[in-house]
Amino acid sequence: MDDFRDMSSNIFRGCIPALMTPCDINGNPNYDALVDTAKRLVKVGMRGVVYCGSMGDWPLLTDEQRQEGISQLVKAGVPVVVGTGAQSPRQAVNHAIHARKVGAAGLMIIPRVLSRGISSAAQHIHFAGVLEAAGDLPSVIYNSPYYGFETKADLFFKLNRKFSNLIGFKEFGGAESLSYAAENITNQDSSLTLMVGVDTQVFHGYVRCGASGAITGVGNALPKEVLRLVGLCEQAASGNVEALRLAKELDDALSVLSKFDEGPDLVLYYKELMVLEGHLEFTNQIFSSDQLHMSQREYLHAQWRQFKNWWNSWEGNLKNMKEKTEES
Angle at 206 between CA 81 and CA 176, to 5 degrees: 95
Confidence check: pLDDT of 31 > 60? yes
Percentage of residues in the chain with pLDDT exceeding 90? Answer: 87
207 secondary structure, DSSP code:
I
CA distance 41 to 79: 11
Q: For residue 10, what pLDDT is reported?
A: 80
What phi and psi, each to the nearest 5 degrees, are found at residue 135? 65, -120
Q: For residue 327, what pLDDT is reported?
A: 59
Confidence check: pLDDT of 145 > 80? no
Lowest mean pLDDT among 10-14, 68-72, 248-252, 319-323: 319-323
What is the rounded radius of gyration, in angstroms, for the C-alpha atoms of the chain?
A: 19
Q: For residue 7, what pLDDT is reported?
A: 38
> Which residue type occupies 145?
P
CA distance 322 to 106: 36
Percentage of residues in the chain with pLDDT exceeding 70? Answer: 95
Lowest mean pLDDT among 6-20, 119-133, 151-165: 6-20
> Are the CB atoms for 54 and 144 separated by under 8 Å?
yes
Confidence check: pLDDT of 328 > 60? no
Angle at 246 between CA 240 and CA 249, to 5 degrees: 140
Q: Is 237 left (phi over 0), alpha (psi -120 to 50) or beta?
A: alpha
Domains of the chain: 11-321 (3.20.20.70)
CA distance 224 to 318: 10
**What does the pLDDT average to over 209-234?**
98
Specify the length of the chain in residues: 328
CA distance 324 to 319: 9
- The DSSP element (H or E) to which 15 belongs, if any, is strand 14-17
Q: For residue 291, what pLDDT is reported?
A: 97
CA distance 289 to 149: 29
- The DSSP element (H or E) to which 51 belongs, if any, is strand 49-51
Confidence check: pLDDT of 188 > 90? no
Q: In the chain, what's the furthest Cα-to-Cα distance?
A: 64
Lowest mean pLDDT among 80-84, 112-116, 197-201: 112-116
Q: For residue 6, what pLDDT is reported?
A: 38
Residue-wise pLDDT for 33-49, tens only, equals 999 999 999 999 999 99
Average pLDDT of the chain is 93
Confidence check: pLDDT of 91 > 90? yes
CA distance 223 to 16: 10
**Residue 123: helix, strand or coil by DSSP?**
helix
